[in-house]
Chains A and B, each alone.
Chain A
Amino acid sequence: MEMNQYLSMFIDESREHLQAMNDNMLKLEASPDDISIVQSIFRSAHTLKGMAATMGFEDIASLTHELENVLDLVRNGKLQMNAHMFDTVFKSIDALETMVEDIIAGGSGQADVSAIVAALGAIISGESGAPGAQTGGKQDASSAGELDEFQFSVLEQSLEAGHRVYRIVVSLEQSCVLKAARAYMVFNELEQNGEIVHSSPSVEDIEKEKFDQSFIVYYVTQLERELLEQRIAGISEIESVAAESLDADALKRRVNRPQSSPAPAASDKAPAASGTPRSAAAETAAARAPAAGTAVATRTIRVDIDRLDVLMNLFSELLIDRVRLEQLAGEIRRSDLTETVEHMARVSSDLQNIVLKLRMVPVETVFNRFPRMVRDLAKSLDKKVDLVITGAETELDRTVIDEIGDPLVHLLRNAVDHGIETVPERLAAGKPETGTVHLRAFHSGNHVFIEIEEDGRGINRDKVLATAQKKGIVTAEQAQGMKDEEVYQLLFASGFSTADKISDVSGRGVGLDVVKSKIESLGGRVDIVSKLGTGTRFSVQLPLTLSIIAAMLVKMGNEKYAIPLSSIVETAAVPREQIRRVHGNRMIDFRGGIIPLVSLAKLFDVPSYSDEDEAETEVVIVRKGDRMAAIAVDDFIGQQEIVLKPLGAYLTGLQLFAISGATILGDGQVALIIDTNALIK
Chain B
Amino acid sequence: MGEELKVIVFSLAHEQYGVEVEKVQTIERMQPLTRVPKTPPFVKGVINLRGVVVPVIDLRGRFNLPEAEYTDNTRIIIVAVKEMQVGMIVDSASDVVDVDSDAIEEPPEIVGGVRAKYLRGVAKLKDDRLLVLLNLEEVLNKSEIVQLEQFAE
Contacts and interface: CB of A to CB of B under 8 A. Distances in A.
A320 B36 CA distance: 21
Interface residues of A, number: 29
Interface in B26-41: 32, 34-39
A603 interface: yes
B145 A654 contact: yes
Interface string A584-609: 00000000000000000001111000
A654 B146 contact: yes
B84 A664 contact: no
A650 interface: yes
A388 B34 CA distance: 48
Contacts of B35: 559
Interface in B43-92: 43, 45-48, 51-55, 57, 83-86
Given A559-B35, A670-B46, A672-B34, A648 B86 contact: yes
Contact of B43 (A317, A645, A651, A662): A651
A648 B84 contact: yes
B60 to A, nearest CB: 17
A662 B46 contact: yes
Nearest to A604: B37
A669 B48 contact: yes
A650 B140 contact: yes
Interface string A643-666: 001111111011111110010100
Contacts of B39: 651, 654, 656
A657 B84 contact: no
B149 A654 contact: yes
A656 B38 contact: yes
Given A649-B83, A650-B84, A670-B53, A664 B48 contact: yes
A229 to B, nearest CB: 64
B53 A650 contact: no
A664 B32 CA distance: 13
B34 A648 contact: no
A655 B142 CA distance: 12
A627 B36 CA distance: 27
Nearest to B54: A648
Contacts of A466: none
Contacts of A662: 34, 46, 53
Contacts of A647: 36, 46, 53, 55
A646 B37 CA distance: 16
**Could you say which of A316, A603, A658, A668 has the most chain B C-beta atoms within 10 Å of its C-beta?**
A668
Contact of A605 (B32, B37, B51, B53): B37
Given A559-B34, A662-B53, A664-B51, A649 B84 contact: yes
Contacts of A670: 34, 45-48, 53
A656 B39 CA distance: 7
**Could you say which of A559, A604, A649 has the most chain B C-beta atoms within 10 Å of its C-beta?**
A649
A453 B55 CA distance: 41
Given A645-B52, A664-B48, A669-B48, A651 B36 contact: yes
Interface residues of B, number: 27
Contacts of B54: 648
Contacts of A559: 34-35
Contacts of B145: 653-654
B137 to A, nearest CB: 13
Nearest to B148: A654
A281 interface: no
Interface in B120-153: 140, 142, 145-146, 149
A658 B36 CA distance: 10
A603 B38 CA distance: 9
Contacts of A653: 142, 145-146
A514 interface: no
Contacts of A659: 36-37
Nearest to B84: A649
Given A650-B85, A670-B34, 15 more contacts: A603-B37, A605-B37, A648-B53, A648-B55, A649-B85, A650-B142, A651-B36, A651-B43, A656-B38, A656-B39, A659-B36, A659-B37, A662-B53, A664-B48, A672-B34
Interface of B: 32, 34-39, 43, 45-48, 51-55, 57, 83-86, 140, 142, 145-146, 149
26 contacts: A317-B51, A559-B35, A647-B36, A647-B46, A647-B53, A648-B53, A650-B84, A650-B140, A650-B142, A651-B43, A651-B46, A653-B146, A654-B142, A654-B145, A655-B149, A656-B36, A656-B38, A657-B38, A662-B46, A664-B48, A669-B32, A669-B48, A670-B45, A670-B46, A671-B34, A672-B34
